Structure 1
Amino acid sequence: MDFAFDARTEELRARLLAFMDEYVYPAEAVAHEQRAGLDSPWENVPVVEELKAEARRQGLWNLFLPDSEHGAGLTNLQYAPLAEIMGRSPQIAPTVTNCAAPDTGNMEVLAQFGDEAQKKQWLRPLLAGEIRSAFAMTEPDVASSDATNITTHIERDGDEYVITGRKWYISGAMHPDCAIFIVMGKTDPDGADIRRQQSMVLVPRDTPGVTVKRAMRVFGYEDHYHGGHAEVVFDHARVPVSNLIGEEGGGFAIAQARLGPGRIHHCMRLIGMAERAIELMCRRAVSRDAFGKALARQGVVQNWIADARVAVEQLRLLVLKTAWMMDTVGNRGAHTEIQAIKIATPRTVVGILDRAIQLYGAGGVSQDFPLAELYAGARTLMIADGPDEVHQRSLARRELKKYL
């Protein structure tokens, strides 16, 4: 089995690593300082906008999209190590390379299911980084980890759809450049097939009846770089029937197609977060003394670092195998592996980050180091894109089916 990256991947890795060292890591502190001086926390941060231009100039742009017509044309296996590198600075690196959720998933949906008019109006400016977007699926009043529970109504009235519902934790919706929502709701709530009741429609943010009510925090963080997470109300918002993505009743299938790549992208970045945590642990361990000797000589600290290294190597192999399977047998053929990495990666990385925070003491939970924010992001991914328990249930049923 060949574990080596191909020539194009190695070349992009080298360029991206250099970009991270020269531009991204130094920008982290600068971005925080600049944001503190803005009139609104949602305004574009100057240093981030500068890095977007530099990333695009260097060809480090839209690396996530396998469609060579619109993106870099990389396979999942080629993109995996690049996403890992960007995961080392998950607030800035994905944003400045136009590889940040939810825009990535929305661009994939438009590229795969959008018609030519929708691509021209929305996909092209998203690819160019001229606008941002949001994906409106999760609802506060139902267990929307089961998408068949969604209650938002999309009713046809002549040549228009009327959207009524309430969503929350809608990533990207607070960003001033967010111009378009992809909204999932029910066009056929009484349909016999519960997986054919849902559809997806494009709803411009400035549509009458669309209200972005408030920003939702995640462990106290507002996640400014990704455009925040909002509660959004759709009160009889009207859009043309031509704003339907795909066909009526196709929303559930489109959501599954969107979430497959999204789950593996999150797992790729999580490995980068774990690598950053190990690096920070080692730097701390060799620079601090406690009880008469360096932390690096304390047995418990050595165990934490060794266990973290073993866990990351295991996860990376599983994620790379999953990426390879997605490339060779498709998302459906890699369904078990996608669920496996979605279960294993966040919980393992949360454990590594927890030990790193412990090693840093008070500094670990402070704003002076990235660990607390990394922890919040990793812990959230045990819920996002389907909670762990949903994936465990599905994976177990697939395993048991072999014996029934």
Structure 2
Amino acid sequence: MHKSLAAALALALGWASAASATETWPLSRQQVFDASGRPLLVARVAFFKAGTTTPLEVYSDAGLTKPLAQPVKADGTGRFPRVYLPTVLYAEEVLGPYGDVLWRDDGLGYVPPTTGGGGGGGTVDPTAIAVTGDVKWRLDAGIVPGWVRMNGRTLGGAGSGATELASATASAAFAYLWNTFPDTVASVVGGRGTSAASDFSAGKQIVIPTMQGLLQAGLDDMGSSPAGRLQTITDLTLSAGSTTATVFSSARLVVGMTVTATGISSGTTIADINGTMITLSQPAAAGSTGTVSGARFSVLGDAQMPGQIGGDAFSGLANKNLPAVLPPGSVTVDYPAHTYITHETLATASITAATGASPVTNLQQGLKNDLTAPPNAKTFSVSQPNPGGGLPFSNLPPTRLGTFYLKL
């Protein structure tokens, strides 16, 4: 019988608390094998209090009166002896022939429900304790028994090789993640099988959704009407096969937003915005020509789907992020001063001789100064270089760091 079921049955039948004060180590009378499937004849195991390196006393008898020396050694066939532990959360560290750590699993075991004294008064209210999938935040970065850190590492069964927790105690959290989220949020290493139970039994690992460097936020709808805080909702008119579409209003639209609407492929984003015309990163699907009511746009992907990630701590400004109307200005062009040109004035004279009158041309009459005509008007392009500019700016609100944990 599963340990948690046995504890619940014992509690329901009113068995003495001493009956659940001891548990048997699951690998008692079991062999540990090497990569070739041969028993490791000198395997050893040490036990610690959960989340610490403090040794935990274990025993060879169910009455917990005969302590075992640690690390506990396997026998000549690689089989561990019978080991009894107090009913607490603990960590186990199994060592190979050369003292190499084969695995160290933490958060094993369980804490049984408590009962009231005096012959039967009530039990712990299950609605007042954490359940599988609950998330909590702590100011430190330690390992917490019964919880795993939400760090993008993996969990799975004992021997699965999971990087955050490889233990039978991970089964409930494995099933919660497998059944609740798609692979985009909690992917199964090696691909999903037919069920969470079969994947867990097969030794597969599932990725714990990460909260590294992230702040938490509520879904935009959260079971109610969308609030419109993390997304913009407006009508969208499409043309099948075209990346150009129009929106009823482009207010609160941003380049890079994901578009969620009928006729739009998953992952389509806004590539450009010009008035109420937007450019999509992928063309509209065939047969999608027409207006789609209530198209949704968000930098978080789908702002109504749990587990989505978006936003950044740093941003940079492009020209399209500047105000539509810039402050007025002017450009003053200084034309060259007018200069004088000095030139001769010429005349024609007539000389009379015995043979008659003859004209004489190009005789210098004098000197004259004239002004040059002003140049024609010219249009000048003006740039405003900003040496050292173009650096990103921070979007991060005041923040304190700690660790997010997921309940097993």
- The structure carrying a bigger helix percent of its residues is 1
Radius of gyration: which is bigger?
2
Q: TM > 0.5 between the two? A: no
The TM-score with structure 1 as length reference comes to 0.19
TM-score by length of structure 2 reads 0.19
More strand as a share of residues: 2
